[in-house]
Structure 1
């Protein structure tokens, strides 16, 4: 790892540091991302904390620590870091994650208030998509299923061309299942399958469940299909994917 793997915008932020320190922080940021991707949370945390100790006023360092805390389920710490990023950078791109942190802390009213702030209108299309998924999850937590479905009815739902839209399709299908609208849900799970080229969701399995099929592993040479005696129940959490 050389540190040069980082996005150019991060290197611009690091110019406020000495050359030696910038190079060291860059390496820690790369390693934090690599370890987070490998699910080695402890190692990712160590690298992110070191980056913050050496560059506490660099937004990218605070964002890295926030992402690790978010993955750990330490929503209070993650929210604090994301707020610091917004204060240092002036950017609201982490707003969906901030809303989800409020949700994770059980502060659903605060989450909805934050999602409705003027900053939400400044988000890029992919960020608005993630925010819609989180808001829908908040509504589901509150038992407001109709409102949860409405929250997902953003323009990207029908366009189907944006990156990550398969997650929106999945959340929409999952909410339809919760509402008992299984036939409609099947259609949207199918859309999720078509867009999920990296298998980020279990949309294929959900489709099989809706069709009453249970794929049971009976051994290395068998792929028997066994009818499932009971229909599935849906339970989506609406969490966004950390970048």
Structure 2
């Protein structure tokens, strides 16, 4: 490929450049949030406008937050055996991201606050400890046995009754994440309140917060989970949260970290999509193009991961003023998108229309 990489760090000119407006959707590859492909309500920016998002993620299970083509690599282990719990694209993310795929940085939706069906929590026995915060009701069909076995084993350090309740809240988090992220977050917070020292519970709370647009809370929870469990954790989701908080330069730093070098395959590709989005947030379109120029562009792959990657690359090319090249990659994204997660076909029509 002919592009020449530009320096990793933002130039003085780029730093001074006005930030492009952000969106608060999160799903890689949806042209515009047409009601949210998995039912998540569209959220506008603080001024009530619902602007467009261009590529990449922000979502996590259900595959990322109920948006089209979003960031769906946020994998939590809560849920009926599906390790891709809420999903750069999954999720959240995921509505189509702005040019660069990140949500509105000033989004302050409080998932779970005021949610229906809350009941007062019970204190433990007759001791003087304060009662728990209100928790959402658990339906009878939310069963602990529906939770993945590995997660249930993580809960064995809890007393039996508490472990059962935590497991049921995690099941509900997974069940609701795509269609009602605020309610899912309420359940995740309830689980965290009961089992805050268990890594998978903190991870699930972080992913739920990510889908609900609570970027700071999501980042805090995912950092805690990573400290407890070790490893790189959900690095791409964390980087996307930094973008959501209006800190694209920190997303880029995460992309250069030692933990990032530990990632391989789709996990590494998802992080590159987020880093490219951060470059686009900063107006560094040529560098976004270069970020995505890897072996992931080789061959004729299909499926969700390939479609999102091709879409992100096409979007960066168009933003960099290379519309003809971008058109070719939107065509490849459309061909790879066998599940219809992106709006690549719409982008092709946009670029070829009268």
Question: Normalized against structure 1, the TM-score is what?
Answer: 0.81
Q: Does 1:61 align with 2:201?
A: yes
140 and 25 in structure 1: CA distance in 2 versus 1, 3 angstrom threshold: same
SS in 2 for 1:65: helix
1:23 is aligned to 2:129: no
Gapped runs of 5+ residues in structure 2? Answer: 1-141
Contact 1:126 1:162 in 2 (8 A): no
Q: Is the 8 A contact 1:29 1:47 kept in 2?
A: yes
1:5 aligns with 2:146: yes
Q: Is the 8 A contact 1:126 1:164 kept in 2?
A: yes
Counterpart check, 1:147 vs 2:290: no
Is 1:126 the counterpart of 2:251? The answer is no
Tell me, yes or no, if the aligned pair for 1:44 and 1:68 is still in contact at 8 Å.
Answer: yes
Paired with 1:42 and 1:175, the residues of 2 have a C-alpha distance of: 31
Instruction: Determine the C-alpha separation between the residues in 1 that align with 2:320 and 2:184.
Output: 39
Who is 1:215 aligned against?
A: none
CA contact (8 A) 2:303 2:338 kept: no
CA RMSD of aligned residues (A): 1.7
* Number of aligned positions between the proteins: 212
Structure 2: distance between partners of 1:5 and 1:125:
29
What is the Cα deviation at residue 92 of structure 1?
Answer: 1.5
Which of 191, 194, 207 is equivalent to 2:348? Answer: 207
Contact 1:96 1:134 in 2 (8 A): yes
How far 1:99 moved relative to its partner? Answer: 1.1
Say whether 1:177 aligns with 2:322: no
Match of 2:67 in 1: none
**CA distance, structure 2, for counterparts of residue 117 and residue 55 of structure 1:** 30
Residue of structure 2 aligned with 1:33, choices 151, 174, 182: 174
Distance 1:129 1:44, change over 3 A: same
Give the corresponding residue for 1:156.
Answer: 296
Q: CA deviation at 1:3?
A: 2.8
Worse-superposed segment, 15-24 or 155-164: 155-164
Higher percent of residues as helix: 1
**Given the alignment, which residue of 175, 196, 217 partners 2:337?**
196
Deviation at 1:126, TM superposition (A): 1.4
1:57-96 mapped onto 2 (5 Å cutoff):
57-96=197-236
Quote how far apart the aligned CAs of 1:162 are: 7.1
Q: How far has the Cα of 1:143 moved from its partner? A: 1.0
| CA distance in structure 2 between the aligned counterparts of 1:154 and 1:24, rounded to whole angstroms | 45
Higher relative contact order (CA 8 A, sep 6+): 2
C-alpha distance in 2 between matches for 1:115 and 1:187: 27
- TM-score when scaled to structure 2? 0.57
Is the alpha carbon distance of 1:154 and 1:26 closer, same or farther for their aligned partners in structure 2, counting shifts above 3 Å? farther
Alpha-carbon deviations, 1:76-106, whole Å to 9, x = none?
A: 1111001001001113131111111112212
